[in-house]
């Protein structure tokens, strides 16, 4: 059996990563024929259930096995380390203190304790005590890194593809992210599907991603807006029909219209600010003067859009002169009103808008 610490805590905001690493830890010990494994799933919300899971694990640690010389006691999904009111109750604090005391005094010979948790409040005394008593592995969600949407998510997909032993063209990571968004769990799942679809001997292409990777509505709205504003009519129509096929309740035309109207308005503002030299577009991002902030839209907290979002919209804004954006905005606005009035089926109205925009580029 591999040499490990008597007690190990695997935690972090990367929920899939924590679960995968904990499963790997347990699997690494499974080769020992004399090992007995007891698993206590602590994914519970009620205080009584939390306390029961902790005390059941304590009892398992203290009770010798009749059939095995080595034992792994695994407390998985330890919600009692979270920040809920139940987790902070006196009963849970007392149970955790008892567990910490047991670990600190030395586990019985042959017993290994594994605790895994993704919803953890590391500021709590109970959590700090557990960390002090255990060997700790921390797996934070990759989405916490800077520029995750711009660089992190595609780089993460590239790492997943390499880990799967796949051969892939350089435009595949961005194609995957464009279709399903930047959620790490979804990206893992979609990369696994891609690898299975193409097989070990075939090179994955962006076209494969278009076929296999499921579209996430939020991500696909962004992709559709890009296609509309950049004048890629055929792609926009294809995406729209795919979205319509997925939309069983037929309630997406209004969110799509709101999204494209907002993007069009921001592109028009960015074009205006660039023409007035109040906003400049460089290789690594957009810069603007304080005066430009008066023109940029604000969220409910009074803050302008994220700099990378402005940067991406500015790149689109350079594709048309100011007169072109004014004409496009008029088309979008007219169809915006029609979608809300219900003059025509929402998706048919959006198709009419795309065809009207296409005539502007002729």
pLDDT at 44 over 90: no
Q: Tens digit of pLDDT for each residue in 71-97?
A: 999 999 999 999 999 999 999 999 999
Work out the average pLDDT over 342-347.
80
Work out the average pLDDT over 334-361.
86
Spell 260-294 as b/e; 16+ CB within 10 A means b. bbebbbbbbbbbbbbeeebbebeeeebebeeebee
Q: Tens digit of pLDDT for each residue in 257-286?
A: 998 999 899 999 999 999 999 998 876 677
3-state secondary structure of 203: strand
Q: How confident is the model at residue 223 (pLDDT cuts 50, 70, 90)?
A: confident
Domains and CATH numbers, the chain: 7-140 (3.40.50.300), 145-212 (1.10.8.60), 217-360 (1.20.272.10)
Q: How confident is the model at residue 193 (pLDDT cuts 50, 70, 90)?
A: confident
pLDDT at 322 over 50: yes
Spatial contact of 175 and 141, defined as CB atoms under 8 Å apart: no
Mean confidence (pLDDT) of the chain:
86
Kindly calculate the radius of gyration of the chain based on its CA atoms and give it in whole angstroms.
27
Q: Give the pLDDT of residue 146.
A: 56
Q: Give the pLDDT of residue 1.
A: 47
pLDDT at 45 over 90: no
Spell 114-146 as b/e; 16+ CB within 10 A means b. bbbbbbbeeebebbebbbebbebbebebbeeee
């Amino acid at each position: 059996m591999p040499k490990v610490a008597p007690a190990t805590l695997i935690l972090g905001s990367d929920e899939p990563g924590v679960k995968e690493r904990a499963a790997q830890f347990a699997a690494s010990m499974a080769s020992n024929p004399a090992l007995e494994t007891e698993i206590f799933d602590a994914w519970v919300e009620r205080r009584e259930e939390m306390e029961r899971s902790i005390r059941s694990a304590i009892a398992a640690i203290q009770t010798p096995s009749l059939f095995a010389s080595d034992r792994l006691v695994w407390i998985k999904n330890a919600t009692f380390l979270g920040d809920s009111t139940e987790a902070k109750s006196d009963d849970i604090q007392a149970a955790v203190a008892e567990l910490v005391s047991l670990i600190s005094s030395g586990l019985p010979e042959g017993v290994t304790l594994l605790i895994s948790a993704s919803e953890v409040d590391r500021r709590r005394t109970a959590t700090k005590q557990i960390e002090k008593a255990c060997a700790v592995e921390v797996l934070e969600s990759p989405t916490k890194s800077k520029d995750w949407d711009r660089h992190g998510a595609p780089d993460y997909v590239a790492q997943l593809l390499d880990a799967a032993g796949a051969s892939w063209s350089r435009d595949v990571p961005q194609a995957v992210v464009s279709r399903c968004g930047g959620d790490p769990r979804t990206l893992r799942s979609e990369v696994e599907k891609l690898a299975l679809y193409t097989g070990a001997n075939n090179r994955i292409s962006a076209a494969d991603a278009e076929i296999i990777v499921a579209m996430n509505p939020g991500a696909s709205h962004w992709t559709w807006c890009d296609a509309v504003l950049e004048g890629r009519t055929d792609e926009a129509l294809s995406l729209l029909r795919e979205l319509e096929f997925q939309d069983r309740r037929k309630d997406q035309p209004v969110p799509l219209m709101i999204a494209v109207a907002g993007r069009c308005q921001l592109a028009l503002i960015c074009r205006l600010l660039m023409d007035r030299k109040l906003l400049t577009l460089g290789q690594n991002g957009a810069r603007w003067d304080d005066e430009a902030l008066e023109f940029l839209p604000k969220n409910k907290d009074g803050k302008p859009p994220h700099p990378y979002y402005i940067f991406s919209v500015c790149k689109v804004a350079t594709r048309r002169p100011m007169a072109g954006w004014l004409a496009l905005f008029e088309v979008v606005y007219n169809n915006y009103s029609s979608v809300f009035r219900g003059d025509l089926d929402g998706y048919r109205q959006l198709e009419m808008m795309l065809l009207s925009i296409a005539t502007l580029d002729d």
